[in-house]
Amino acid sequence: MKSFPFRGHLRSASYGRALSTALVTALALSACGSDPAPPAFTFQINSRDVVLTAVDRIEIVLEPQSLDQNFTTVPDRSLYGGNVFTRVSAAGEFVINVERPYIAEHGHTAPDAAFIMELPLYSTDATDDPVVAVPQARTTFIRGAERIAVGSRFLEWPLPAGGRAVATVSCIRTPMNFGPQCTNNDPVRLPDAGPSGADGG
Amino acid sequence: MRPSLLVCLALALFPLGAAAQPPGATVPGAQAPPQPPPAQPAQPAQPPPSQPPPAESRQPPPVLVVAWSDAQVPPELGVVIRDVVVEQLTPFVRRRPVVALTDPSALATVATCTEALCIGAQIANAGAVTGVLVSSTRTVVRAPARAPTVITLQVVDPVSGAERHPPLTVTIEPGEEARTAELLAPVTAQLGQYMPAPPPRASLLIATNVDEAEVTINGHPAGQSPIAPIVLPPGRYVVRGERAGFMVQQRTIDVEGGQAARLDLDLEPDAEALALLTAQEEEARDGGDQGPWYTRWYVLAGGGAVVAGAIVAVIIIATSSGGESTPSGIPVPPIE
């Protein structure tokens, strides 16, 4: 009686390779079915001397440490219903502009902080490049057209999924001047649209 | 369609190419673990490294914080002020350390200096590129504990001791000592604009005599040769190159700021490893030629993988509507 045709030709090594290859491929395929979203990196902005309602806009500039390194140019983006804008500046910095509605919705206070807000970020390329130094995040609070508070800190790079960095922002003030622009809850708009009646001609 | 789904379909269609990859390693953009180096059937005997890898790159000239207090200021408060200034100035100094002058004799000399040249000389002696003078004083009217502490800060140049700006002051009222960092933050932020420019970077060209050698710098993968010049901070680097069939080469190089350095890695063939490689290639060729085509291991593996892939692809397509592979948040592009 003729035996099963494969049996006489298969050597143990080949059979093992066939099995392991099929197994690895099947495992790889089965792993594809469940790829939950990794958690974002949380960039938390804290301030003890700037009240929430005094901030009209927040600008966060991620700046590469090296002068010859830049963020990859990507198209400008509008997120969160148009309340967060991102762009890459001509200097190669990644700029995030957070508008008032997002601040109002996500900002809050705490017993030890007058201002807390979190911003989820994630690196689109998680490759660890040894020659890329960690970027610095410069956070600026803007009221009307005036910079009222600044803070800086370095970020891990690439941004670790699930990680967190807390940036402390302090009111800009001269010595002995306690900066009412940071504590006045009644925003005073600068005449960026021009005084009323000035266009009358 | 999700990128991972594309990968899965590709795996289903071309299972043989994926057989050597670890599961999930080809999903783009995901937080995949680093891939292990490709299997090298003939790993040559590695000579011991000539030098241990360095722990740190060489530091560029620092910014020196010179802080002193008068007799009415508690010494522990003086230390806090000094450390706070060092910590708060660090973010404004790119790739430079900020250090405090702690040598008592040097501090005493600075405190008694009456000329800018005297202060500048002390800063230059410390090898610093910039000095930050921080003096803390209390004008005692009734009791020292009830007097405010006045901190004066000023950035000066080394050697000349020239002042870069008018002195800035911060007053800490009695009972506000716990808020020292908070009170100093706005002023140190102003000092940030007077901090020195970042030290120049260097470039390193790694040239190998054979292509496709895996190159690492201080243990980090730098790619396969040929490699374009790499921009990096000045310092000492351990460069290692290896390729199957060749002896591992490792060299150490000191790269100066602004320098375009070149390092040649000459990988010498390893006769023993090459012989083993050749034998394994012959064995693989012989094994593949025996028997009908349908008995070859890759045909069997491919058939099995296609069946498994088809089943899993159907499951994925059926469940892909609720899947999400990118985190919610603001995407930040890579740095190049």
Domain contains A200: no
Q: Sheet with B168-172: list strands edge to edge.
A: B98-100, B63-69, B130-138, B149-156, B168-172
Q: Sheet with B230-232: list strands edge to edge.
A: B230-232, B202-208, B260-265
Residue B29 has pLDDT above 70, yes or no: no
Tokens 């999924």 belong to A161
pLDDT score recorded for residue A24 = 60
Helix, strand, coil proportions of chain B in percent (round to 5)? 35, 25, 40
Please state which of the ranges A14-28, B100-114, B151-165, B220-234 shows the lowest mean pLDDT: A14-28
pLDDT score recorded for residue B283 = 72
CA distance B195 to chain A (A): 14
Q: CB–CB of A72 and B334 under 8 A?
A: yes
Helix (H, G, I), strand (E, B) or coil at A197: coil
Q: Which residues of B touch A152 (CB under 8 A)?
A: 91-92, 192
* B326 touches A: beta carbon within 8 Å: yes
Q: Which residues of A touch B294 (CB under 8 A)?
A: 6
Domain contains B301: yes
Average pLDDT value for chain B: 74
Domain contains B317: yes
Q: How confident is the model at residue B315 (pLDDT cuts 50, 70, 90)?
A: low
Q: Residues A179-187: what's their mean pLDDT?
A: 65
pTM of the model: 0.38
Higher pLDDT: B286 or B51? It is B286
Residue B220 has pLDDT above 70, yes or no: yes
CA distance linking residue B207 with residue B248, whole number of Å: 14
Q: Residues A5-29: what's their mean pLDDT?
A: 52
Tell which of B231, B246, B269 closes a domain: B269
Residue A177 has pLDDT above 70, yes or no: no
Are A157 and A143 a contacting pair, CB within 8 Å?
A: no
Number of domains, chain B: 3
Q: List all residues 6 or more positions away from B217 whose beta carbon is below 8 Å from its beta carbon.
A: A130, A131, B204, B206, B230, B232, B237, B238, B239
Residue B63 has pLDDT above 60, yes or no: yes
pLDDT score recorded for residue B323 = 46
Higher pLDDT: A176 or A149? It is A149
Domain contains B38: no
Q: Residues B216-243: what's their mean pLDDT?
A: 85
The alpha-helical segments, DSSP class H, found in chain B are: 3-13, 15-18, 75-89, 104-111, 116-125, 180-191, 271-289, 297-319
Q: Residues A188-200: what's their mean pLDDT?
A: 41
Helix (H, G, I), strand (E, B) or coil at B279: helix
Residues 105 to 144 of B: which have CB under 8 A from any A CB?
A: none
Residue A162 has pLDDT above 80, yes or no: yes
* B166 touches A: beta carbon within 8 Å: no
pLDDT score recorded for residue B54 = 40
DSSP, residue by residue, B79-135:
HHHHHHHHHHHGGGSTT--EEE---HHHHHHHHT--SHHHHHHHHHHTT-SEEEEEE
Domain contains A99: yes
The boundaries of the domain holding residue B147 are: 63-194
B208 and B121 belong to one structural domain? no
State pLDDT tens for residues B230-281: 887 778 888 999 988 888 889 999 888 777 888 888 888 888 777 877 777 7
DSSP B230: E
Domain contains B178: yes
The boundaries of the domain holding residue A75 are: 41-183
Domain contains A195: no
Half-sphere exposure of A184 (CA within 13 A, CB side): 11
Q: CB–CB of A35 and B170 under 8 A?
A: no
Q: Searching chain B, which residue's CA lies closest to the CA of residue A79?
A: B330
Tokens 């063939």 belong to B269
Tell which of B152, B175, B194 closes a domain: B194
Report ipTM for this prediction: 0.71
Residue B51 has pLDDT above 70, yes or no: no
B168 and B126 belong to one structural domain? yes
Domain contains B309: yes
pLDDT score recorded for residue A140 = 94
State pLDDT tens for residues B97-107: 899 988 887 88
B73 and B171 belong to one structural domain? yes
Q: CB–CB of A22 and B327 under 8 A?
A: no
State pLDDT tens for residues A68-111: 788 999 999 999 999 999 999 998 999 999 999 999 999 998 88
Tokens of A142: 């803007």
CB atoms within 10 A of CB A169: 28
Domain contains B34: no
CATH number of the domain residue B157 falls in:
3.40.50
Tell how far CA A146 is from the center of its chain: 23
pLDDT score recorded for residue B25 = 25
pLDDT score recorded for residue B64 = 92
Domain contains B23: no
Domain contains B152: yes
Residue B167 has pLDDT above 70, yes or no: yes
B117 and B187 belong to one structural domain? yes
Residue B57 has pLDDT above 60, yes or no: no
* A166 touches B: beta carbon within 8 Å: no
Are B301 and A21 a contacting pair, CB within 8 Å?
A: yes
Tell which of B162, B194, B226 closes a domain: B194
Residue B1 has pLDDT above 70, yes or no: no
Q: How confident is the model at residue A121 (pLDDT cuts 50, 70, 90)?
A: very high
Q: Sheet with A77-79: list strands edge to edge.
A: A77-79, A84-88, A94-99, A57-63, A136-143, A146-154, A170-171
Give the highest mean pLDDT range of A94-103, A177-186, B4-13, B258-267: A94-103
CA distance B59 to chain A (A): 14
